[in-house]
Amino acid sequence: MADYMTALLTLLQPMNFIMMYLCTLVGAVLGAIPGLSGGLGITLILPLTFAMSTELSFSMLVGMYVGGVSGSFIAAVLVGIPGSAASIATCYDGYPMTKKGKAAKALSIGITGSFIGTFISIIVATLCSTYIAEIALKLGPWEYFSLCLMAITMVVGLSNGSVFKGMTAAFLGLWLACVGTDSVTNQMRFTFNNYNLFGGINVVCLLMGTFALQQVATSYAKGNQEMPKVDEGALGGIGLTLKDFTDNIKVIVVSLFIGLWIGFLPGMGSGISNILAYGQAKKMSKHPELFGTGVDEGVWATEVSNNAGVGGAIIPMISLGIPGDATTVLLMSAMTIHGLQPGPMFIRTNPVLADLIFATVLVSAILIFVTELLTKKYFPLLLKAPYHYLYSAILMIAFMGAFSSTTSMFSVYLVLFFGLVGIVMDYFGLPMTPLMLAFILGGKIESYFRMGVSYGKGDYSLFFTRPISLIFILITVYSLFGPMIRKALKKKQRREISEGSINSEK
């Protein structure tokens, strides 16, 4: 408790507090604009934190994270276009409510649901992370190797319905992680005699290229610059009563647990939890046929669950060194850049910083909740932001950030190269999350594998005979082949039904 109070007092220092609040607002704005996101904001400000204190850096980065997830529902409700994948299912009932003249109520549900999900989930994360880290300290390199492998394959198994595409992206990430000097033999790997690559791929360049540059290029190419008009007169009043809350308490609680659980699972995140929570709310409803026509439960379910994923995703990042979603991959990158090692020892060696991250999420959630309630009628202005100015600023910050990370023009060339890689991947439908996750965890996988083999004196069977490691490996196998098996069984079932109907007609 003393560490938490110290962290809270550090956060409330004027500079830390002001910058955190500003980043929370910027994250909400980026989250509200389709094609952009709070994750993009983290990518852009990451190089700016190099010369800052660790406390100020993570106050800004985590504030941007919370604001980005919270603000993504705005466009989904007002124009039916999700600000990010976290609010895809919010469009299903949020936009129909706006068309019915209930925009104020839909926005209020989104604001309140976002706050409930973030607030409760971070309290759970604060209480549970220490205990999970204590358990994790009892694991060996065999379990950590299997855990990292499981994290990657779980993301691969959910990659746009195509395991092959997810595997391709993951292998590309693992290959990029191998570039540089081998830590044991000191041999050069895939450097092509370029001394700029001796230290490996700079994570900032990879993020700027595959994330920032790729997003700008593909959004511009797809013509995502015009937003439908919004009836601003429909945004007056709070539009929400205590009865609205109590009538939907069951949906709120169930969606909260779904968001926490999905957030905790490596690499899944809010993009999945909001869709699952929406489906569950529909199953629980007495009138499921009304879903999609503008019902309150649909918005409550999606916004509580996707924001609950924030606390859920931070738990494995802090306790296990495994990112819970795509944005916590970026936060782990920031930790690495600042010389920190996320994982079981992180809470022991950096207790104040760990509590600072928890406190920042909590305070940011409160600040953005109050701010969004007070400024709700101005939300349509966010959607009128001129994209040609936004894109120009993003590109300038991306190149400046890459250059400042190494003070070398080679970093700028890397950004351009990875931007091209990102565009090609987007064209062929290859998901970006497996690549980023594999790149971040690639070094750990190699290190844990070597340690496991070394400690076992060449005995590879320990990866399969230690119970927890075996469980992780079985989940890994299921994540890879489970979707294929289910697809084959469904295809066989459809064929049998088709053959049965043909025989009955004869």
Q: Please provide the DSSP assignment of 200-264 as one string.
A: ---HHHHHIIIIIIHHHHHHHHTTTT------GGGG-S----HHHHHHTHHHHHHHHHHHHHHHH
Give the integer Cα–Cα distance in Å for 86 and 444.
28
Cβ-count burial 331-370 (b if 16+ within 10 Å, e if not)? bbbbbebeebebbbebbeebbbbbbbbbbbbbbbbebbbe
Cβ 367 vs Cβ 24: under 8 Å? yes
Residue 85: its pLDDT value, please?
67
Give the integer Cα–Cα distance in Å for 356 and 62.
10
DSSP, res 50: T
Helix (H, G, I), strand (E, B) or coil at 180: strand
Maximum C-alpha span of the chain: 81
Cβ 48 vs Cβ 41: under 8 Å? no
- If DSSP states are collapsed to H, E and C, what string results for 379-407? HHHHCCCCHHHHHHHHHHHHHHHHHHHHC
Asked whether residue 234 carries a pLDDT value surpassing 60, the answer given is no
Identify the band that residue 271 occupies on the pLDDT scale cut at 50, 70 and 90: low
Which of 127-131, 175-179, 486-490 has the weakest average pLDDT? 486-490
Instruction: Find the mean pLDDT for residues 331-353.
Output: 82
Give the integer Cα–Cα distance in Å for 29 and 23.
10
Question: 195-227 pLDDT, tens per residue?
Answer: 888 888 887 788 778 877 887 787 777 665 555
Average pLDDT, the chain: 81
Asked whether residue 373 carries a pLDDT value surpassing 80, the answer given is yes
Give the integer Cα–Cα distance in Å for 310 and 126.
12
Helix (H, G, I), strand (E, B) or coil at 167: helix
Angle between the N-to-C axes of helices 467-505 and 141-156, in degrees from 0 to 180, rounded to the nearest 10: 30
Q: Residue type at 437?
A: L
Token pair listed for 12:
């409330």
Cβ 82 vs Cβ 34: under 8 Å? yes
Percent of the chain with pLDDT over 90: 6
Q: Helices in 137-199 by DSSP H: which ranges?
A: 141-156, 163-178
Give the integer Cα–Cα distance in Å for 320 and 339.
17
Q: Residue type at 267?
A: G
Residue 222: its pLDDT value, please?
67
Question: 144-164 pLDDT, tens per residue?
Answer: 888 888 878 876 765 555 778
Helix-, strand-, coil-residue percentages of the chain, each rounded to 5: 75, 0, 25
Q: 49: left (phi > 0), else alpha (psi -120 to 50), else beta?
A: alpha
Write out the DSSP string of 81-125. Answer: --SSGGGTTHHHHHHHHHHTT-HHHHHHHHHHHHHHHHHHHHHHH
Over the Cα atoms of the chain, what is R_g?
Answer: 23
424 by Cβ neighbours in 10 Å (0-12 / 13-18 / 19+) ranks as: exposed
In the block, residue with structure tokens 């649909």: 298
In this structure, the number of other CB atoms found within 10 A of the CB of residue 224 comes to: 15
Residue 506: its pLDDT value, please?
57
Question: 18-67 pLDDT, tens per residue?
Answer: 999 999 998 888 888 766 677 778 887 888 887 788 888 889 999 998 88
Instruction: Find the mean pLDDT for residues 443-447.
Output: 84
Residue spans of the domains in the chain: they are: 2-501
Asked whether residue 460 carries a pLDDT value surpassing 90, the answer given is no
* 35 compared with 476, residue with greater pLDDT: 476
What's the full length of the chain, in residues?
506
Identify the band that residue 404 occupies on the pLDDT scale cut at 50, 70 and 90: confident
Closest to 302 in 3D by CA, of 92, 65, 33: 92
Cβ 354 vs Cβ 317: under 8 Å? no
* 316 compared with 501, residue with greater pLDDT: 316
Cβ 103 vs Cβ 235: under 8 Å? yes
Which range among 354-368, 430-444, 482-496 has the greatest average pLDDT? 354-368
